[in-house]
């Protein structure tokens, strides 16, 4: 059951990221930010994305923020130290990049950054960023009729926890004890082992979205997973004892 759940959540995450990916492609194509085409794309995609996007932003080739749909005021904000910007400016990644959770310097909110380099004449002239509120995934996971014992997590393949419902650890903390997180050989499966600071043995179903650099997991403790089996076995034992007494 946990493996099927992990795959279901992975499909939802992939659909969400494809939508954001399409938005970043259109923003990059409509650059520069002071053009009518860019403003039109922002307006169109804001209607489509709705509350999904905390912010739409653009940096220049120096990593200075030159556009935010939230507005800019005060000193120039530079993001040259942020991984989701550097990977494009340093040409370490092409296409959509998914960041670890960070606090936005303009939005001031914890968010997952989806970024894409803007190229013109084979040069990176800037980076477009769509910031997603992790609460979006929290609400989706929390709205489903899951068994209370099951926990859902989105984990970056570098180990950082991005989303977890119900929460057992802070967002951004590094998850250990899950050998399938960084692996690219197995897209999905199940794993049993002790994880977390409490060393509780859990059964994890997982689905790795290698292209996005994240893994979705659904897990339950071994004790909870076996509880129904033990209860059913006890009922069979009691029924058998009842039959023997009658005889």
pLDDT of residue 185: 62
Is the pTM higher than 0.95?
no
Q: 96, 21 in Cβ contact below 8 A?
A: yes
Q: 86, 80 in Cβ contact below 8 A?
A: yes
According to DSSP, residue 4 is labeled H
The Cα-based distances of 40 to 33, 45, 46 in angstroms read: 10, 9, 10
Q: Give the model confidence (pLDDT) of 77-98 as tens digits.
A: 999 999 999 999 999 999 999 9
Tokens of 66: 């030159």
Q: Give the model confidence (pLDDT) of 26-64 as tens digits.
A: 999 999 999 999 999 999 999 999 989 999 999 999 999
pLDDT of residue 105: 85
C-alpha 233/C-alpha 135 separation (Å) is 40
The Cα-based distances of 55 to 24, 48, 110 in angstroms read: 12, 13, 11
According to DSSP, residue 74 is labeled S
Q: Give the model confidence (pLDDT) of 108-160 as tens digits.
A: 888 999 999 999 999 999 999 999 988 899 888 888 877 778 899 999 999 99
The DSSP bridge partners found for residue 58 are 67, 128
């Amino acid at each position: 059951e946990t493996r099927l759940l992990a795959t279901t959540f992975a499909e939802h995450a992939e659909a969400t990221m494809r939508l954001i990916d399409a938005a970043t492609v259109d923003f990059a194509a409509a650059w520069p930010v002071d053009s009518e085409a860019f403003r039109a794309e922002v307006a169109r995609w804001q209607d489509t994305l709705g509350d999904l996007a905390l912010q739409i932003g653009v940096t220049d080739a120096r990593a200075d923020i030159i556009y935010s749909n939230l507005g800019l005021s005060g000193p120039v904000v530079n993001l040259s130290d942020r991984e989701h910007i550097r990977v494009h400016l340093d040409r370490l990644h092409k296409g959509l990049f998914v960041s670890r959770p960070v606090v936005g310097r303009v939005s001031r909110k914890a968010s997952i950054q989806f970024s894409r380099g803007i190229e013109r004449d084979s040069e990176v002239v800037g980076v477009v960023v769509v910031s997603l509120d992790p609460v979006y995934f929290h609400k989706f996971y929390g709205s489903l009729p899951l068994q209370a014992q099951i926990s859902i997590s989105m984990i970056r393949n570098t180990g950082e926890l991005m989303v977890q419902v119900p929460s057992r650890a802070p967002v951004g903390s590094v998850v250990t004890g899950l050998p399938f997180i960084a692996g690219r050989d197995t897209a999905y499966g199940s794993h049993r082992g002790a994880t977390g600071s409490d060393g509780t043995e859990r059964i994890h179903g997982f689905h790795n979205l290698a292209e996005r650099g994240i893994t979705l997991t659904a897990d339950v403790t071994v004790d909870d997973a076996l509880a129904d089996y033990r209860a059913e076995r006890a009922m069979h034992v009691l029924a058998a004892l009842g039959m023997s007494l009658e005889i």
